[in-house]
Structure formats: C-alpha cells, structure tokens
Chain A
C-alpha cells in the first residue's frame, strides 16, 4: 500500500519512513490538524478524527512540557496491548509538522525512533520555501483548508503541483 498525500513534497520522506520502519499507520499533519499525508487509513472520517486527536495530544503534551520543564515535549509514546503509538514533531521551512504513527510487533520503538530521525532530516530537505505568509487563518478558512486536504487525499480534488501550497490563503 502506498502513502497518499495532500502536498507532493511530503510523499518521498513519508513513503520511506513507512517502508523502513514497518509501521501500520502513519499520519502527517500541521499542528492545527490539517492533514498533509497518510498511510494505512481507508476512510476520510478516520483521518479527520485521527488528525484532530493527534493535534490535541500534541498541543497538550507541548503545554505539559512547558509547565514541567520550561520547554515543550516534542515526542510522545504510548504502548497498548498489541499496538503502540508514537507522535513526534518535525521542523521544516513550512513550519512544524506532526507525525502520528501506529505500529505493532513487526516494528519497535527503537526502529521507529531511528527512522523518525531520518524522516525529520528528509522532510526538512524536501520542504520548499514558504514564499509568502498569508493572514492568520480564521475558523471558516481553517475548516475549508481541512476539508480541502481531505478531499485531495481521497481523490476528490487534484493535488497542487510540487512546491505549491495547499493553503489558498498563503
């Protein structure tokens, strides 16, 4: 199964991470919950829910880190009975991105961490520069962008060309 992306520049790094770390699910998103790419999900509603939860968990963990250590926690790991999740932040020229991934006994936390470091480097190199910063997103604009990314991911809209932004306000 291949990754599906809303922005072309994330495809290479995300596909390589999925192939090498042998994870079951992967979701790359903006910290505001807007999806950039995914692997393993079959329904848009699941991607939407996972993005909202991942963004909330990431924001909560970051604030907890600030309270406890004066700096945000950037990675989070949770071990379930059969599946485990890892959430990590990656910095790019287009701002921070959050990776949520779920894996089972086919992989391990050590492998996921090793390939996440490679993913961070690859994503930072692949990110095209942000030419223009648009105005801050309002609630309506944000919802439109969230829906637009989902529509691209599930084939209801054509993705923008490589290097282009999916954010019409940018």
Chain B
C-alpha cells in the first residue's frame, strides 16, 4: 500500500542536496510520512521544525502579515525549510549548497497537494 504523500515526498527528495523530507502534524509534531537519509533523526527534526513553523505562523499572523508561505532556516551546514497548510507541515532538510530556489518551488507545489 502506498502512502498518499509518496509522490509529494519523491518530488522533494529527488532534488539535489535534499537530505530528507518529512510531513508532520503542526500541532502535535508527530510524523505523518517521511523519507530521510540514514543518520537523520527524523522524529527530532520533525518535532522541532513543526514547533518552529507553528511559532512563525503565529508571529506572522500577530504582526498582521497573514500566514507563512515558506520558512527557511539557514545554518552553517545546511538549511531547514518548511511550508504548511491545514495543520500539516512539509519539512525539508538540505545541504548548504542545495538549490534552495528549486526546493522552495517544489515545496510550494507540494503544499497545494496537502489540501
């Protein structure tokens, strides 16, 4: 049996520099589906990224900026990207040199599929 999120995960993880992609519940931080490379602590990344996205969404709404379309955290050795809709968040973990523009486009396209 295939997961309804399989196509979405494949679309993001096939891109160069992507270490993993996770669909996670925004309020509970629990993984719905995921495809991550060996060594990536999926549950830890998912829970923390969901909490981060949730905070960002609340902050954005409180500041009158409406909802968060795309969240990017740039770290020394890579990026954490997140986009969400209807209580689900797509989280992508990438290498530092990954093409963020392409990944962003793929994630925003994938968010549409969450509806």
Interface core residue of A105, A109, A110, A111 (most chain B CB under 10 Å): A110
**Are A114's CB and B30's CB within 8 A?**
no
Q: Please classify the interface of chain A as helix (H, G, I), strand (E, B), loop, or mixed, using the class held by over half of its residues.
A: helix
Given contacts A110-B46, A111-B47, contact A105 B27 (CB under 8 A): yes
Say whether B51 contacts A111, CB under 8 Å. yes
Is B29 an interface residue when CB atoms closer than 8 A count as contact? yes
Q: In the complex, what residue of chain A is closest to B44 when comparing beta carbons? A: A114
Residue of B nearest to A108 (CB): B29
Give the chain B neighbours of A111 by CB distance below 8 A.
29, 47-48, 51
CB atoms of A109 and B30 under 8 A apart? yes
User: What is the distance, in angstroms, from A68's C-beta to the closest C-beta of chain B?
Assistant: 22
* Chain A: CB-nearest residue to B55: A106
Task: Determine the chain A residues whose CB is within 8 A of the CB of B48 once the complex forms.
Answer: 111, 114
Taking the complex as formed, is B74 at the interface, i.e. its CB lies under 8 A from any CB of chain A? no
User: Counting CB contacts under 8 A, is B50 at the interface?
Assistant: yes
Q: Which residue of B lies closest to A84 (CB)?
A: B28
Whether A113 sits at the interface, judged by CB under 8 Å, is yes
Chain B's closest residue to A106 (CB) is B51
C-alpha spacing A111/B46, complex, angstroms: 9
In the complex, the answer to whether A113 meets B47 with C-beta atoms within 8 Å is yes
- By beta carbon, the residue of chain A nearest B43 is A114
Closest beta carbon of chain A to B18's beta carbon, Å: 21
Nearest-CB distance from A119 to chain B (Å)? 14
Contacting residues, chain B, for A114 (C-beta < 8 A): 29, 43-44, 47-48
Task: Assess whether B43 is in contact with A108, with CB atoms less than 8 Å apart.
Answer: no
Q: CA–CA, A110 to B31, complex, Å?
A: 8
Interface residues of A in 101-120 (CB under 8 A from B): 105, 107-111, 113-114
Can you name the residue of chain A whose Cβ is closest to the Cβ of B26? A108
Q: Give the docked Cα–Cα distance between A110 and B49 (Å).
A: 10
Can you list, as one digit per residue, whether each of B31-62 has a CB less than 8 Å from chain A (1) or not (0)? 10000000000011011101100100000000
Binary B-proximity of A105-141 (CB < 8 A = 1, otherwise 0): 1011111011000000000000000000000000000
Starting from the known contacts A108-B29, A110-B24, 10 additional A-B residue pairs (CB-CB under 8 Å) come to A109-B28, A109-B29, A110-B25, A110-B28, A110-B43, A111-B47, A111-B51, A114-B29, A114-B47, A114-B48
Cβ contacts A to B, 18 pairs, < 8 Å = A105-B27, A107-B51, A108-B27, A108-B28, A108-B29, A108-B50, A110-B25, A110-B28, A110-B30, A110-B43, A110-B47, A111-B29, A111-B48, A113-B43, A113-B47, A114-B29, A114-B43, A114-B48
Q: Report, nearest first, the 7 A-B pairs whose CB atoms are least far apart.
A: A110-B29, A110-B47, A108-B29, A109-B28, A114-B47, A111-B47, A110-B30
